[in-house]
Structure 1
């Protein structure tokens, strides 16, 4: 089992993107820490190559509370609220595969929601602080839009990798099929020549 801890900082949006090779029968787990409640955690994953491009996924919260469980999924994009303080685990399991490893791209991002007190101050319009809050809110929304664009690009990248893998697999199948067909044709020709030579050789011996 592979273990990797993902640190969470204090910026409005903290994200970690990784690519990991999950071997056959391996279960790889990654962890992030929520230091305050009510944080939004975004989780995106996509199987880039290997087998049928599917994998089992489990997301657990503190005290082993299960948040998400998926079986044989190719990709997903989920957002949930971290209501508890503690460690959240994101596990990929390749137990269904006997020999094929899976290449998985995933991203875990933690977004800090606005506090109600900050929202009240913004609505009251209290001078420079309200302007700072408005700018912070704009940056927060911009960060969310950039995150969505980034996930969309990853989605297209995943489709491109899968299509390329399909093309390579088809080329390999055509190559081996053609090679096998050529070998069978040569073998059949040799057998036919042997049969014809044996037939005529036997005929000459009979007449003599």
Structure 2
């Protein structure tokens, strides 16, 4: 009976087996920002997600380094990413984002790190004769999978919405300045035409005299 209650409690805690850190930060032009996680176990799954919400062409350079200093990932001009890699070394892992290729546009970046603490591996096996417990465990795992899918979908739509808003604001700014330039051009052309006509009539009067 104790094993049964232990299994039930473990199933309800299954969704919490991942330790996650999420943040949103602004990366200025020609700036580089790094974040770190410390791994204390061998062969731990590390998942990370990032997306450029606004700024420039919505792209950024990023790298991931192992505790030994070797590059695990090194990508340039990426808009977003959602991957998992195995941290097979103990120590500090470095996640760096660079906006050094941009000279004027700042970037707003969503970033999340998920570290698997092997909670699943520590779950006790369900008794073979208890089909209800096995079904409960399968249901919890299915709920966890659906929640992860829902989170990814929400992140996708959030990114799309932010990028569309950024594009709309950029288009409005361009339309405004184009309208100002158009008005100034029309005024300049009108003044130029008045001066040309005035000069023409002044020249005609001098010839008559």
Give the TM-score normalised by the residue count of structure 1: 0.82
Is residue 122 of structure 1 aligned with residue 122 of structure 2? no
Aligned counterparts of 2:135 and 2:65: Cα–Cα separation in 1 = 34
Out of 7, 20, 24, the position equivalent to 2:29 is: 24
Q: Deviations over 1:111-154 (max 9, x none)?
A: 23333x75xx5166498xx95x9866754553343233212211
Q: Deviations over 1:5-61 (max 9, x none)?
A: xxxxxx511111100111122211111122212322110000011111111111112
Q: Secondary structure at the match of 2:68?
A: helix
Give the deviation of 1:66 after TM superposition: 1.7
Within a 5 Å distance, the mapping from 1:6-155 to structure 2 comes to: 12-113=17-118, 114-115=120-121, 122=125, 125=128, 131=133, 139=140, 142-155=143-156
Aligned counterparts of 1:136 and 1:38: Cα–Cα separation in 2 = 24
Q: Secondary structure at the match of 2:154?
A: helix
Contact 1:13 1:143 in 2 (8 A): no
Give the deviation of 1:166 after TM superposition: 1.1
For structure 2, the 5+ residue unaligned runs are 1-15
Q: Secondary structure at the match of 2:125?
A: helix
Provide the residue aligned with 1:5 in structure 2. none
For structure 1, the 5+ residue unaligned runs are 1-10
Size of the aligned set, in residue pairs, is 192
